């Protein structure tokens, strides 16, 4: 359980992913956990937060009203904070608009959204998510296969530099849906599910959000033990 002073900033809300939808899921997942939660729609608010954060969570890229993307220098500031011990969790639309040569990809291996797979059913259709066997990791501990109507993300991620935890399968294929690793003194976790309330509020997704936050934020006393062989 997080301490009363553990601070998390959550970036959420864009044209396709309303803040209200994410806020409902956050309130359900992190109720009574002790996190001091700050909500914003701007990525730069994370960089402006002082004195330091225990965890930053991106459910969106953080560019409201056409605001410019983070500069390479600003991204390197985010990288430095993670290397110094801040946890970083990126969920669904938090993986969009990341450039392949950016510090987020090259130095933190956040991966990045590439496309929605082709489908006659539009961008939302049934997707089943399941932990990759026989992987054992605190982020997916106790998580069973679950699903619902969702956007099935296809992402680019350097799988040789992370631990793949979750896969997503739909009628059009199977893709990596979750991964996690250490980055300096910090930790990074990424989850692709989460376009719809049906998926965000599913008990297994709620478990994933709680456990990913706890694992990423462990350097400031949050819960979540390391998996065997992890720092």
Full-model pTM: 0.91
- Please give the pLDDT value at position 106: 93
- Please give the pLDDT value at position 120: 61
Phi, psi of 115 (to 5 degrees): -165, 165
Report which of residues 35 and 48 the model is more confident about. 48
Architecture of 7-220 per CATH? 3-Layer(aba) Sandwich (3.40)
Which of 46-50, 90-94, 220-224 is the least confident region?
A: 220-224
Phi, psi of 216 (to 5 degrees): -65, -35
Average pLDDT of span 158-172: 95
Crossing angle of helices 203-216 and 19-29, rounded to 10°: 80
Torsion of CA 196, 27, 138, 155, to 10 degrees: 30
* Domain range list for the chain: 7-220
Average pLDDT of span 25-29: 92
For the chain, the residue count is 231
113-67-64 Cα angle (round to 5): 70
- Cβ count within 10 A of residue 49: 17
Q: Rg (Cα) of the chain, in Å, rounded?
A: 16
C-alpha pair distances (Å), 156 with each of 21, 29, 87, 163, 187: 26, 27, 21, 14, 19
Cβ atoms of 224 and 215 within 8 Å: the answer is yes
Q: Output the average pLDDT for the chain.
A: 88
């Amino acid at each position: 359980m997080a301490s009363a002073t553990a601070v998390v900033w959550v970036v959420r809300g864009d044209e396709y992913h309303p803040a209200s939808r994410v806020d409902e899921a956050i309130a359900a997942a992190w109720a009574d956990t002790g996190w001091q939660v700050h909500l914003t729609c701007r990525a730069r608010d994370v960089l402006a937060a002082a004195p330091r954060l225990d965890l930053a969570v991106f459910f969106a890229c953080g560019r409201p009203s056409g605001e410019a993307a983070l500069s390479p220098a600003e991204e390197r500031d985010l990288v430095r904070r993670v290397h110094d011990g801040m946890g970083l969790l990126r969920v669904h639309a938090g993986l969009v608009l990341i450039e392949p040569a950016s510090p987020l990809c090259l130095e933190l291996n956040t991966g990045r959204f590439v496309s929605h797979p082709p489908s006659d059913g539009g961008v939302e259709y049934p997707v089943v998510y399941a932990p990759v066997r026989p992987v054992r990791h605190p982020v997916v501990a106790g998580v069973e296969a679950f699903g619902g109507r969702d956007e099935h993300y296809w992402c680019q991620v350097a799988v040789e530099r992370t631990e793949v935890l979750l896969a997503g399968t739909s009628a059009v294929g199977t893709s990596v849906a979750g991964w996690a690793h250490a980055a300096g003194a910090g930790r990074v976790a990424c989850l692709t599910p989460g376009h719809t309330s049906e998926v965000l509020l599913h008990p297994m997704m709620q478990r994933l959000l709680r456990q990913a936050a706890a694992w990423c934020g462990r350097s400031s006393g949050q819960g979540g033990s390391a998996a065997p062989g992890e720092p």
